[in-house]
């Protein structure tokens, strides 16, 4: 304990952070531990592209926050140096239609966005493949969070176009990596038969990190992101315990950042267990926040209605939703299925006296936490 009470206090121009970006979701760490087997499998699938051939199509699966996106980003970063390979990573939570996916590919190939209207998909696709053939490049497309394409019934058309590119455009060489965090989604079973016949992917699985692995990874982040002595082992282990409860490493990384901000709010040079506990109230909703960010206005409106009518029957919720949006029952039912698949709500069938079977809609999170994040 310092003799001078001010000695442990931060000055106005001081921070506990050495590099706060280390705790952002898009940060790619120099060392990517505990995923050596998965990286080797992905390299094996991508190696033919470096030789000028089509790579092996790959399906990457695992729970949220297990390193899938980071692994692909890391390998794509290495491929950027190969003049014969054009790697493109598409976030399907943002680009959830076939046209949006190919617009993103166009942007990466040409370094500018395609016209926002007036260009057909066929022409857009043709321009992409013509450029690839002219430049003698192999295109590798990673469809990250591909489950969103399934939720919007766009997956089969998107994959069919990519997988059949060499038939429609001779000389085009295209490989596909699909990345999914929805373990309840049977990808192969949900695809059209025309896609199933040509899509025989290598499979790479990313399991949940165990607690010693979480401690190891978070220690590396803390060393890179905080100044020396800001966080000690007991606090780090508490962060790891809370992270292990959720199974999502992103919770732990966000928890470190928020705990650091809490310490700064107290003008303290060190993070305490109390800073960690207080931060967890927000960090535990990382997955919810990410799910809500990817929703359309009408989808967010339905989440709001469900939060206000939590536990009520689907028919009652529909009436409130229709009053707010004017949308019909078919679209309402589609959104319910999507929110159920995303893990935002639970839609369970139950027998209702005098009305047969009806769905009861319940949020998977605290309603106030949901409303706060909409």
- Report the share of the chain in percent with pLDDT over 70: 96
Structure tokens given for 64: 């949220």
Residue located via tokens 């060489």 = 173
Residue located via tokens 């990573």 = 89
**221 carries a ligand binding annotation:** yes
Eight-state DSSP code of residue 8: G
First-residue to last-residue Cα distance in the chain: 44
What is the predicted pLDDT for the residue at 205?
98
What is the predicted pLDDT for the residue at 3?
41
What's the burial of 129, exposed, middle or buried (CB within 10 Å: 0-12/13-18/19+)? buried
CB 206 within 8 A of CB 71: yes
Alpha-carbon separation of residue 50 from 78, 136, 165 (angstroms): 11, 12, 19
**330 carries a ligand binding annotation:** no
Q: What is the C-alpha separation between 333 and 347, in angstroms, rounded?
A: 11
What is the predicted pLDDT for the residue at 4?
44
Q: Which residues contact 152 (CB under 8 A, 6 or more apart)?
A: 96, 97, 338
Q: Would you say the C-alpha torsion 35, 36, 40, 41 has a positive or negative sign?
A: negative
pLDDT tens-digit series, residues 266-288: 999 999 999 999 999 999 999 89
CB 368 within 8 A of CB 332: no
What is the predicted pLDDT for the residue at 353?
60
Q: What is the C-alpha separation between 284 and 280, in angstroms, rounded?
A: 6
**69 carries a ligand binding annotation:** yes
Q: Whole-model pTM above 0.85?
A: yes
Mean model confidence pLDDT for the chain? 93
Pairing state between β 356-363 and 345-352:
antiparallel
**209 carries a ligand binding annotation:** yes
Nearest Cα to 38, choosing from 71, 14, 3?
71
CB 297 within 8 A of CB 259: no
Nearest Cα to 149, choosing from 98, 89, 73, 189?
98
Q: What is the C-alpha separation between 75 and 235, in angstroms, rounded?
A: 33
Q: What is the C-alpha separation between 286 and 256, in angstroms, rounded?
A: 13
Which string of DSSP letters, residue by residue, matches 10-79? Answer: PPTT--SBS-GGGGSTT---S--TT-HHHHHHHHHHHHHHHTTSPPPPEEEE--TTSSHHHHHHHHHHHH
Q: Would you say the C-alpha torsion 271, 291, 69, 91 has a positive or negative sign?
A: negative
* Tens place of pLDDT per residue across the chain (374 aa): 344 444 578 988 899 999 999 999 889 999 899 999 999 999 999 999 999 999 999 999 999 999 999 999 999 999 988 889 999 999 999 999 999 999 999 999 999 999 888 899 999 999 999 999 999 999 999 999 999 999 999 999 999 999 999 998 999 999 999 999 999 999 999 999 999 999 999 999 999 999 999 999 999 999 999 999 999 999 999 999 999 999 999 999 999 999 999 999 999 999 999 999 999 999 999 989 989 998 999 999 999 999 999 878 888 899 999 999 999 999 999 999 999 989 999 988 776 665 567 788 999 999 999 999 99
pLDDT tens-digit series, residues 105-127: 999 999 999 988 889 999 999 99
Q: What is the C-alpha separation between 36 and 33, in angstroms, rounded?
A: 7
């Amino acid at each position: 304990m310092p003799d001078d009470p001010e000695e442990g206090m931060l000055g106005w121009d001081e921070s506990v952070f050495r590099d706060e970006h280390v705790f952002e979701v898009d940060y790619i760490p120099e060392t990517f531990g505990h995923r050596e087997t998965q990286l080797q499998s992905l390299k094996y699938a991508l190696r033919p592209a470096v030789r000028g051939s089509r790579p092996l199509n790959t399906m990457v699966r695992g729970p949220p926050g297990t390193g899938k996106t980071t692994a692909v980003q890391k390998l794509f970063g290495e491929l950027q140096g190969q003049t014969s390979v054009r790697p493109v990573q598409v976030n399907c939570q943002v680009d959830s239609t076939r046209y949006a996916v190919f617009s993103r590919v166009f942007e990466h190939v040409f370094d500018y966005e395609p016209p926002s209207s007036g260009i057909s998909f066929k022409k857009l696709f043709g321009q992409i493949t013509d450029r690839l053939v002219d430049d003698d490049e192999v295109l590798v497309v990673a469809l990250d969070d591909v489950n969103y394409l399934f939720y919007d019934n766009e997956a089969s058309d998107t994959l069919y176009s990519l997988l059949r590119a060499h038939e429609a455009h001779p000389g085009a060489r295209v490989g596909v990596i699909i990345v999914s965090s929805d373990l309840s989604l049977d990808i192969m079973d949900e695809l059209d038969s025309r896609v199933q016949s040509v899509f025989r992917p290598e499979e790479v699985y990313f399991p949940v990190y165990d607690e010693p692995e979480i401690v190891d990874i978070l220690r590396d982040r803390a060393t890179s992101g905080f100044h020396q002595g800001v966080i000690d082992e007991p606090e780090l282990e508490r962060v790891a315990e809370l992270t292990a409860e959720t199974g999502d490493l992103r919770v732990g990384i966000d928890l470190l950042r928020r705990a650091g901000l809490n310490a700064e709010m107290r003008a303290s040079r060190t993070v305490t267990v109390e800073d960690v506990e207080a931060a967890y109230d927000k960090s535990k909703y990382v997955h919810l926040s990410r799910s809500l960010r990817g929703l359309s206005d009408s989808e967010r409106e339905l989440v709001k209605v469900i939060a206000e009518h939590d536990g009520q029957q689907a028919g009652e919720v529909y009436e409130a939703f229709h009053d707010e949006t004017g949308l019909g029952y078919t679209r309402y039912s589609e959104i319910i299925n999507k929110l159920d698949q995303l893990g935002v709500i639970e839609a369970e069938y139950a027998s209702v006296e005098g009305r047969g079977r009806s769905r009861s809609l319940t949020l998977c999170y605290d309603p106030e936490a949901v409303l706060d994040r909409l």
